[in-house]
Copies of this chain bind each other. A is one copy, B any other.
Amino acid sequence: MVHNAAVIGGGVIGAGWIARFLHNGVNVAVFDPAPDAKQKIDVVLANAALAAKKLSDAPPRTPGKLNFFDTIEQAVVDAELIVEAVPEQLELKRSVYSQVESAADSKALVASSTSGILPTKLQEKMQHPERLLVAHPFNPVYLLPLVELVGGEQTSSRTIERAKEIYKDLGMHPLHVRKEIEAFIADRLLEAVWREALWLVKDEVATTEEIDDAIRYGFGLRWAQMGLFETYRIAGGEKGMRHFIAQFGPCLKWPWTKLMDVPELDDELTDKIASQSDQQSGRYSIGDLERIRDENLVGILRVLEKNNWGAGKTLKDYEAKLNAEIEEK
């Protein structure tokens, strides 16, 4: 779908993009002024190659070619897709776009990797603002499929549609964020957790390790396969989301987080959530969802066990104990 891409900025995110492009047969032109940029990118490419080999049994595409350039203008001249992955400073990003537009094809897409700055602000001073969008990926970019696509006021629908096709072709799951909002969707959720976690550490309720364990031995195992609402749909039993909200709703009034500005869970919001949840998962019975969830959890736990990590280590220790009990008999 894309033959030539440019990546401006070779940090953790930029390097992850480079790895995903190369693996999918896309040539990549890189601009990064840091003296150790190439060296750091090579480390990420080595990790990505290792992971790719284990991830997929399908025959890989012929890898793309990687080239480094001394200026943004040189890097973007042949690119159909230009990825901006520089630090979260609006003026810096705008100056990158200005250099990009001085040399790039006017139809090339410009995709910002920003975690939260509004595309309307990013595109404000561009010559061709219609081709700018946010394509926000998640670290490690070469493994995690999510990419949030966000258009600004001047972004064309053609840009969004083209981007959806491109990222799908790269093996990703493009999620079009239909309403522009700071931090988009995933990072708003992460930011809420991060703020609550900071309170827990500050108030010495828990250490960083205890907080991580509270996630990875528990709800983190659910969230790798279902999200928040589908998990709660199951928790509501056959009566579904409405029942869950009736049970869990009152806690909203309780001091169960330091973060207290909450919407009223009135009938209108309850109806909206319950009917969206039906739309999402109504084709499965709760019994189906429970079996799917368990099948996924078993597999995930066994993977973690094989790697002797987290909840898999708990399982491994437990199995060793069971085996020892048998030997004692």
Contacts and interface: CB of A to CB of B under 8 A. Distances in A.
A204 B276 CA distance: 11
Interface in A166-219: 169, 171-173, 175, 177-179, 181-183, 185-219
Number of copies of this chain that the complex holds: 2
By secondary structure, the A interface counts as: helix
Interface stretch (A67-75, A154-162, A296-304): A296-304
A210 B185 contact: yes
Contacts of A292: 307, 309
Given A47-B294, A190-B219, A204 B182 contact: no
Contact of A189 (B56, B138, B197): B197
Interface in A294-320: 294-304, 306-307, 309-311, 314-315, 318-320
Interface residues of A, number: 138
B171 A318 contact: yes
Contacts of A293: 140
A87 B172 CA distance: 42
A177 B178 CA distance: 40
Contacts of A304: 224-225, 296, 299-300
Nearest to A142: B294
User: Which of A47, A212, A227, A291 has most B Cβ within 10 Å?
Assistant: A227
B276 A217 contact: no
A269 B314 contact: no
Contacts of A146: 213-214, 217-218, 311
Interface in A234-286: 234-235, 237, 247-248, 251-252, 254-263, 265, 269, 272-273, 276-277, 279-280
Interface stretch (A26-34, A58-66, A93-101, A124-132): A58-66
Given A216-B226, A220-B225, A299-B304, 20 more contacts: A56-B322, A144-B217, A145-B218, A148-B214, A169-B321, A173-B314, A178-B205, A189-B214, A190-B228, A192-B259, A198-B263, A202-B272, A212-B227, A212-B229, A213-B227, A225-B310, A257-B259, A259-B259, A296-B310, A300-B304
30 contacts: A12-B235, A58-B319, A58-B322, A87-B247, A115-B251, A143-B221, A143-B301, A144-B218, A171-B315, A173-B217, A175-B213, A177-B210, A178-B205, A179-B203, A182-B256, A183-B251, A186-B219, A189-B214, A191-B256, A194-B248, A201-B272, A211-B228, A212-B227, A213-B227, A216-B223, A219-B223, A220-B227, A259-B259, A260-B261, A296-B309
